[in-house]
Chains A and B, each alone.
Chain A
Amino acid sequence: MGLRTYILRRLILAIPVLFGAALFVFAVIQFIPVTLRATLFVTSPQQLRIEGGLDRIARINGLYDPIYVQFYYWMRALLVDRNLGVDIIGQPVFDAIMKRLPSTVEIVLYASPVIIAIGLTLGVLSGANKDKLVDQASRVLAIMGTSLPSFWFGIVLLSIFYAGLQWFPPQRVGIDVTKFIGQEGSPWRWYTGLVTIDSLINGQLWIFVDALRHLVLPVTVLSLLNSAVMVRVTRSSMLEALGKDYITAAKAKGLTRNEVINKHARRNALIPALTISGLMVAGLMTGVTITETVFNMGGIGQYAAAAAQRYDIPPVIGYTVLSAVVFVISNLIVDILYAYIDPRIRLG
């Protein structure tokens, strides 16, 4: 089986999962009573005063139709019109998510390389130096990553580095930057929506520095706690690789320890570590929901969490659908990468 057939097969297998996920979310929504669901379509108080009230709204919006018809309309709204409903203040959920997406992307963009760097380097090092100081450090990191509540870690960091030392403030940008961007006739132009990149394009170095200062703490929380799993997986696959016969052979032909570890063991150990990066995406998405809330970053995670607090259903459903799509696609990419790197997968 060639790589292309493999990719095609994986793509075809991912579609039913996505469809099933959509069906599942739809089924969950069906548990909400009809009258409550009808209120989601209310955009102004006048609508309620018309004869029939909520019942009429439910009928107009097809909530009394057969389930499969409703599912068809729901899917069509999702796929064709990109309509996820409106939130409690009457803003379309899709627009709200799109508006907040850059902030989340920015955090993830900085956190992922850090996670991969810490995970792989520390994993390889602690695997190669079992029970040495590095290994003990990685063990402590792993215990921290699995035992500390991320929101608590964030609060402690804020207390030290914001309240105490005044180094790294919460929120996305400082008040000066908000004023500068918001003022009339501001030279600021949005290009990508990411403050750190746009500030460089705009030539405003001070805004870049300010945005970085605001990113330090959320990125630290996300990357420290999420890299723990990757460190452990890389470590154990490194240990496994070091026990193989080809390592003994490499040592026997007189290679130095560094050559054995870097050329023979590490390359083989990194393959299993790659599969864990799919899990990293899930960890990041959950992490983003909480970290954004702690640091008040205004991304999609915070938007969904704030909506959940008010039991405002459409934003939460929209966020869930979005995260499922992102998660399935990233798992797909990981699988394809895995097959590309390790021919045994696609041939076996």
Chain B
Amino acid sequence: MVEERPFGTTLLALFQAVTGVIELNLGILMLTIGNPLPTVFPSINTYWVGLLMIVLGVISLFLGRTLWAGGASNWLLAISLTLIDVTIRIMLPVTYGTSWIAFAATLELDIVVLYYLTRPSTTPFFGGDGIRSVLSKFKIEMEPRMKEVRFTLRLVRKSYLSIVGASIIVFYLLVALLAPFLADPTNSLQQTGDPNMMWKDIELQATVSLEPQGPSAAHPFGTIQNQYDMYYGCIWGARSALRVGLYVAGGSMLIGLLIGIFASYYGGWIDEALMRFTDIIFAFPGLILAMTLVVVLVPMGINRLDAVMFALTIVGWPGYARLIRGEILRIKNEDYIEAAKSVGCSDLRVITKHILPNSIYPILIVFTLDIGTVVLGAAALSFLGLGAPPGYADWGQIIAFSVNWIYGSPSNPFAKWHTFVIPGLFISLFVMGWNLLGDALRDILDPTMRRK
């Protein structure tokens, strides 16, 4: 039996939809043109706030949809979405200095949503008479999914390499997260105003000039050419690597997914044109094309790091587009897709509810492996002098700085070993972590392999 949607819920869903659209527009404006409302958002970092605005917009739209649809699983989803929403809305003024007043109204809306979701008169629409019955209904609805999740977790525990890979990644995530505590950015902020730049030991520079110095109490990993502190560079380099890896792999995946789905679902000349375009990108060896793009983009005034990420994304997305296209073509003619269409599912519903969940695993595996590849590519560009600006905490660049010191000194040829061994280990271990995890995920997630 389908409960009628209470009027309050309808109203809230519509409100959320409108908020979502406004926030999406604001976010896109901030990212492309600049700050649209300088009185409401005085002196903000338009890049980060713009991105967060887009996230907020998507959450609001999604929340509106879940409120509109009802049902036990949507009830819990709506609660979690609202909580995430509240967190971001409080975080924005605290971290990025946006004014509180701008978010007070939307915060209130969230509180109203939470209030409504827990009211006895609203809960029947979500499948129960009170919170407890909704929760128990939710448990029953989710039982098959939970069973799969438990099975996956058991496979993960049994796979030694996935544990190793995952722990390496967790290690780097922690290092990146705790970077300000592991390596104090005061010196960097003083010297350059940017915590992502390595700091120089000015006193050492006055006495020994360029020559890298071995590990000491002041510099646990020693210094590299120009007396940059290597410990600081290696620790904050984890942030750079994660940023480049996640942005580029994530961006390529999103673009590739959108284009691949679009091409394969509609077929015809759209498909043909888009796939011929991927052929053209594939006609170049990836890193060489990325190098060309960086060389063209940087003189145009684009920030060097952004140019590298942009170039690697352009090179990266066709792989995802082809992969998802192949997957979709494979399952497009399956009976369950026909069935979904015949009961009148919209294209969007067929794609999001039936096609994507069945084809997403290979994409996720490639995504995991891709993060390592991307970081290696960015490091290679850094090594060629095309990556981050000089002094940026970036492993590839630290290694590039060591090239002049391969031959230590006549008495001890390995005198400067630390300049390349330490950053090299950092980057190799990072890439290895993602590769091990990706390989293990292949065995765990692939539906044709996992039950063997």
Q: How many A-B residue pairs have CB under 8 A?
A: 150
CB proximity to B under 8 Å, residues A23-58: 23-25, 28-29, 31-33, 36
Q: A24 touching B281 by the CB < 8 A rule? A: yes
Query: Please, which residues of chain B bring their CB within 8 A of the CB of A29?
Result: 296
Query: Please, which residues of chain A bring their CB within 8 A of the CB of B345?
Result: none
CB proximity to B under 8 Å, residues A285-311: 285-286, 289-290, 293-294, 304-305, 308-309, 311
Q: A327 touching B284 by the CB < 8 A rule? A: yes
Q: A143 touching B399 by the CB < 8 A rule? A: no
Tell me, yes or no, whether A320 is within 8 Å of chain B by CB: yes
CB proximity to A under 8 Å, residues B382-422: 383-386, 396, 399-400, 402-403, 406-408, 413-414, 417, 420-421
Tell me, yes or no, whether B424 is within 8 Å of chain A by CB: yes
Q: A152 touching B420 by the CB < 8 A rule? A: yes
CB proximity to B under 8 Å, residues A120-172: 143, 146-152, 155-156, 158-159, 162-164
A202 to B378, CA, bound (A): 44
Question: Are A147 and B414 also in contact (CB < 8 A) when A24-B281, A316-B295 are?
Answer: no
Q: B383 touching A308 by the CB < 8 A rule? A: no
A23 to B283, CA, bound (A): 12
A15 to B277, CA, bound (A): 14
B158-199 interface code vs A (CB 8 A; 1 in, 0 out): 000000000000000000000000000000000000000000
Q: How far is the CB of B250 from the nearest CB of chain A, in Å?
A: 20
B50-78 interface code vs A (CB 8 A; 1 in, 0 out): 00000000000000000000000000000
Q: In the complex, which range does the number of interface residues on chain A fall in?
A: 35 or more
Query: Please, which residues of chain B bring their CB within 8 A of the CB of A313?
Result: 295-296
Q: Nearest residue in A to B279 (C-beta to C-beta)?
A: A17
CB proximity to A under 8 Å, residues B295-317: 295-300
Query: Please, which residues of chain A bring their CB within 8 A of the CB of B288?
Result: 285-286, 289, 304, 319-320, 323
Q: A32 touching B280 by the CB < 8 A rule? A: no
A194 to B435, CA, bound (A): 38
CB proximity to B under 8 Å, residues A233-247: none
Q: B380 touching A20 by the CB < 8 A rule? A: no
Tell me, yes or no, whether B350 is within 8 Å of chain A by CB: no
Q: B280 touching A20 by the CB < 8 A rule? A: yes
Of B23-31, B140-148, B425-433, which binds chain A? B425-433
Q: B285 touching A323 by the CB < 8 A rule? A: yes
Question: Are A311 and B383 also in contact (CB < 8 A) when A155-B420, A327-B283 are?
Answer: no
Q: Nearest residue in A to B402 (C-beta to C-beta)?
A: A155
Q: A159 touching B420 by the CB < 8 A rule? A: yes
Tell me, yes or no, whether B253 is within 8 Å of chain A by CB: no
Query: Please, which residues of chain A bring their CB within 8 A of the CB of B257?
Result: none
Q: B435 touching A20 by the CB < 8 A rule? A: no
Q: A163 touching B414 by the CB < 8 A rule? A: yes
B-binding residues in A (CB < 8 A)? 16-18, 20-21, 23-25, 28-29, 31-33, 36, 143, 146-152, 155-156, 158-159, 162-164, 281-283, 285-286, 289-290, 293-294, 304-305, 308-309, 311, 313, 316-317, 319-320, 323-324, 327-328
Closest 7 CB pairs of A and B: A163-B413, A20-B280, A147-B432, A309-B385, A282-B285, A152-B424, A21-B283
